[in-house]
Amino acid sequence: MPPRLNRRGLLGAAAALPALALPTIARAQPRYKPEYKISVVGNRPIALSESAFVWADLVNQRSEARLNFKVYPGSSLVGGDQTRELVAIRQGVIDGAVFSTINISPQVREMNLFSLPFLMPNTAAFDALVGGEVGQALFRSLAARDIEPLAWGENGFREISNSKRAIRAPGDLRGLKIRFAAGAIFSEIYTAMGANPVQMSFADLQPALSTGAVDGQENPVNLFLGFRMDSLAQKHLTLWNYCADAGIVSLSKPVLASLEPRDREIVVEAAREAGQAGNNAARKGLGANGDRSSLDECARRGVEVVDLTPAEKRAFAQATRPVFDKWAATVGADLVRQAEAAIARVG
């Protein structure tokens, strides 16, 4: 017969049970993926790529290796076609992205707001949009597609360069083959000024410039410098701020929901810091606070930089106004009016 336990022995055995279970509970970890795939167009020094890498680095460090965010630059997970990133997240092919609003605007019509020609004159206007009710409304549009937008960033105002001549008036664009990334609105903008627009992925842009397949392109100044477009016959650069490329640090809704609260907080806070890092990269050396280092570098490389006057910009705005009005209806008249009011308040 087994030995009988007295009352004291039973109590002692019961008290020992929680102590035996504690190490198992303490060792339990959330069942996360071995890797979370983050997509972004291009690579450093593109400001959006800067945001993506900063985001991944901060998340990996602060989660103490519970999370492993890996950045796939050049939209490599979608075959280099940055316009497919949004669909890929919804399909579970990738887990997150730092989107360009230009690249997702074919699927999310409201994002064409940032592409309306000459809506935003400067960074103060851009900040007024993303930091207010307009930015919140745009985030809701994206959230309705099972994607969680976590923070705004910026890739910069898109300026125009070409290999033929200085551009100071709409007529100077006549006959030029100009590459654009995505979105029918850009085709219509350049057609309105007599140019020949050519849609092309970023991966194909540099070879096209080097062979003369296109005469020019439109991208932020710091991207122009980072990818040495001056070495691809792009010797004429016009600063016209005709539209801005906003960035959105985003994660799949199911992925975010799968994270423990502490890790969800880490991901969201890191996204906000990453968005700001992109802003800083996009705006560096363009004249704010007296820093003109990027513009000076253009001149050092032999690039003619034309900085349009307000009157010259108005001529371009007038030439493209029919496109603006048409696409304002597509974006949503109420949203555009809200945006114009926000911009007016910051002068």
> What residue spans define the domains of the chain?
36-157+246-283, 159-243+293-345
pLDDT at position 21, please? 44
| Among the ranges given (7-16, 44-53, 161-170, 260-269), the one the predictor scored with the smallest mean pLDDT | 7-16
Under a CB-based contact definition with an 8 Å cutoff, are residues 119 and 339 in contact? yes
In terms of CATH, what superfamily is 159-243+293-345?
Answer: Bacterial extracellular solute-binding protein, family 7 (3.40.190.170)
Confidence label for 250 from pLDDT (cuts 50, 70 and 90): very high
Whole-number pLDDT of residue 343: 97
Separation CA 248–CA 73 (nearest Å): 15
CA 295 to each of CA 58, 240, 292: distance values in angstroms, whole numbers, following the listed order: 31, 14, 5
Report the pLDDT value the prediction gives residue 26, as an integer from 0 to 100: 41
Does this chain's domain 36-157+246-283 share its CATH topology with 159-243+293-345?
A: yes
Mean pLDDT of the chain: 91
Strands 147-157 and 244-252: antiparallel
User: For the whole model, what pTM was predicted?
Assistant: 0.87
| Confidence band, pLDDT 50/70/90 cuts, at residue 29 | low
Residue bearing the bigger pLDDT, 325 or 3: 325
Structure tokens at 1: 């017969």
pLDDT tens-digit map of 216-243: 999 999 999 999 999 999 999 999 999 9
pLDDT-derived band of residue 20, with 50, 70 and 90 as boundaries?
Answer: very low
Confidence of residue 201 (pLDDT cuts 50, 70, 90): confident
Is the confidence at residue 203, as pLDDT, over 90?
Answer: no
pLDDT at 210: 94
Rounded to an integer, what distance in angstroms lies between the CA atom of residue 213 and that of residue 80? Answer: 19
Q: How confident is the model at residue 191 (pLDDT cuts 50, 70, 90)?
A: very high
Quick count: other Cβ atoms within 10 Å of Cβ 199? 14
CATH 3.40.640.10 applies to domain 36-157+246-283: no
pLDDT digits (tens, 9 = 90+) for 38-85: 999 988 889 999 999 999 999 999 999 999 999 999 999 999 888 899
Tokens of 99: 């989107």
